[in-house]
């Protein structure tokens, strides 16, 4: 099968490698050349432009944000050149409204569009253990399922409305950032009483809050090690903005998300945007000292 892949950031590159291991012909494109060369060295073919990557049976995209995807696919006029039986699988976390727009534009073009945002950090992607939230035409998802099985541990099918997958992903990301925010505040609280952050993290991650969010982000907080980032604070801010936009559309107040947004803006203002989302603990510590 001929597969295209557009967007080779840390997540995209890890996912593309697992598709390549499946023995498929993989054409890859990225704005910068280094990730492309890394895949070529493993057996992929370099696409000179996005159009060449989309000249495939199935194309996966994992671009950084709505603007990047809009630029590559819509502003360039690329989508208007595509035809069935192409299937486009978008793995990125994007706005619900943009997902609805993309689904309508693909349908008008006769091209199947699947929203399939993923859950997991780059190390999870590398091991092929992502959770994939998939929504779109059932027959198209059936066709790409063997490929999804190469990159994920489970595909959670959420119906034919593509944007449902994006709404679900934003809800899970809201829970994630809220948990990291609360954990950061809690570490500062125990520090105030002379208790090490590591002791709190060890306790909660082995009792009431088991799982990768608390053990993973908690470990970074305990060590105060926020670089290199697996999930940058700047990307966390992007997602929180998408969460708040989705909530506003259906008139759902999310005061916790507003608070996290404020603290992520604080991180950005202090030059911490490229640090891991766990830097929210540092923001909480800074704010406590200023009181």
Q: Of 118, 134, 160, which residue constitutes the final position of a domain?
A: 160
Supply 75's token pair: 């502003």
Give the bridge partners for 135, in sequence order: 115
CB 105 within 8 A of CB 79: yes
Distance of CA 1 to CAs 26, 68, 86, Å?
A: 8, 27, 12
Q: Are residue 206 and residue 76 in the same domain, yes or no? A: no
CATH of the domain at 221: 1.10.1040.10
Task: List the catalytic residues.
Answer: 169
In a 13 Å sphere around the CA of 45, the CA atoms on its Cβ side amount to: 17
Q: Which of 49, 38, 44 is nearest to 2 (CA)?
A: 44
Q: Which of 236, 243, 204, 228 is nearest to 96 (CA)?
A: 243
Residues near 1 by beta carbon (within 8 Å), at least 6 away in sequence: 24, 25, 57, 58, 147
Distance of CA 153 to CAs 5, 129, 193, Å?
A: 20, 4, 42
Q: Are residue 92 and residue 22 in the same domain, yes or no? A: yes
CATH of the domain at 81: 3.40.50.720
Q: Are residue 175 and residue 144 in the same domain, yes or no? A: no
Nearest-10 crossing angle of helices 33-40, 10-21? 20
Q: Are residue 45 and residue 177 in the same domain, yes or no? A: no
Q: Please, is 218 exposed, middle or buried when counting C-beta atoms within 10 Å of its C-beta (0-12, 13-18, 19+)?
A: buried
What is the distance between the alpha carbons of residues 90 and 118, in angstroms, rounded to a whole number? 10
Q: Are residue 139 and residue 209 in the same domain, yes or no? A: no
What is the distance between the alpha carbons of residues 136 and 144, in angstroms, rounded to a whole number? 11
Q: Of 126, 160, 194, which residue constitutes the final position of a domain?
A: 160
Nearest-5° Cα angle at 50, 170 to 118 = 25
Element (H, E) at 112: strand 112-115
Supply 258's token pair: 């507003």
- Note the pLDDT of residue 290: 87
Q: Are residue 70 and residue 139 in the same domain, yes or no? A: yes
Q: Are residue 100 and residue 128 in the same domain, yes or no? A: yes
At 80, give phi and psi (nearest 5°): -70, -10
Nearest-10 crossing angle of helices 233-249, 163-191? 120
Q: Which of 230, 213, 215 is nearest to 275 (CA)?
A: 230
Q: Are residue 18 and residue 80 in the same domain, yes or no? A: yes
Q: What's the average pLDDT block by block, 10 residues per block, for the chain (291 residues)?
A: 96 97 96 96 97 98 96 98 97 97 98 97 95 98 98 98 98 98 98 97 97 95 95 96 97 98 98 98 95 78
- Note the pLDDT of residue 291: 78
How many structural domains compose the chain?
2
Q: Are residue 117 and residue 188 in the same domain, yes or no? A: no
Distance of CA 270 to CAs 184, 197, 262, 265, 280, Å?
A: 17, 22, 13, 9, 12
- Note the pLDDT of residue 117: 98
What is the distance between the alpha carbons of residues 225 and 258, in angstroms, rounded to a whole number? 25
Q: Of 160, 191, 225, which residue constitutes the final position of a domain?
A: 160
Q: Are residue 155 and residue 214 in the same domain, yes or no? A: no
Q: Are residue 124 and residue 14 in the same domain, yes or no? A: yes
CB 158 within 8 A of CB 128: no
Task: Print the domain residue range for 50.
Answer: 2-160
Task: Give the global pTM.
Answer: 0.94
Q: Are residue 15 and residue 139 in the same domain, yes or no? A: yes
């Amino acid at each position: 099968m001929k597969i295209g892949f557009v967007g080779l950031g840390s997540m995209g590159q890890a996912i593309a490698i697992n598709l390549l291991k499946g023995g498929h012909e993989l054409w890859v494109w990225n704005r910068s050349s280094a990730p492309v060369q890394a895949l070529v060295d493993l057996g992929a073919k370099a696409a000179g432009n996005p159009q060449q990557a989309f000249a495939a049976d199935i194309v996966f995209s994992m671009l950084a944000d709505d603007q990047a995807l809009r630029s590559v696919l819509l502003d360039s006029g690329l989508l208007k050149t595509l035809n069935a039986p192409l299937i486009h699988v978008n793995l990125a976390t994007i706005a619900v409204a943009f997902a609805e727009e993309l689904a309508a534009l693909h349908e008008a073009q006769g091209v199947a569009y699947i929203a399939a945002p993923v859950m997991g950090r780059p190390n999870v992607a590398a091991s092929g253990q992502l959770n994939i939230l998939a929504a779109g035409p059932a027959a198209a998802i059936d066709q790409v399922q063997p490929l999804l099985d190469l990159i994920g541990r489970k595909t959670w099918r959420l119906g034919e409305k593509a944007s449902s997958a994006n709404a679900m992903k934003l809800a899970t990301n809201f829970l994630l950032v809220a948990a990291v925010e609360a954990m950061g505040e809690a570490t500062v609280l125990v520090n105030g009483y002379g208790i090490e952050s590591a002791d709190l993290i060890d306790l909660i991650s082995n009792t009431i809050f088991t799982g990768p969010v608390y053990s993973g982000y908690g470990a970074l907080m305990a060590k105060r090690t926020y670089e290199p980032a697996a999930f940058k604070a700047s990307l966390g801010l992007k997602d929180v903005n998408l969460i708040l936009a989705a909530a506003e559309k259906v008139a759902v107040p999310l005061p916790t998300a507003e608070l996290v947004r404020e603290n992520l803006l604080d991180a950005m203002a202090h030059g911490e945007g490229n640090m891991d989302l766990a830097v929210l603990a540092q923001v909480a510590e800074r704010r406590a000292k200023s009181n």
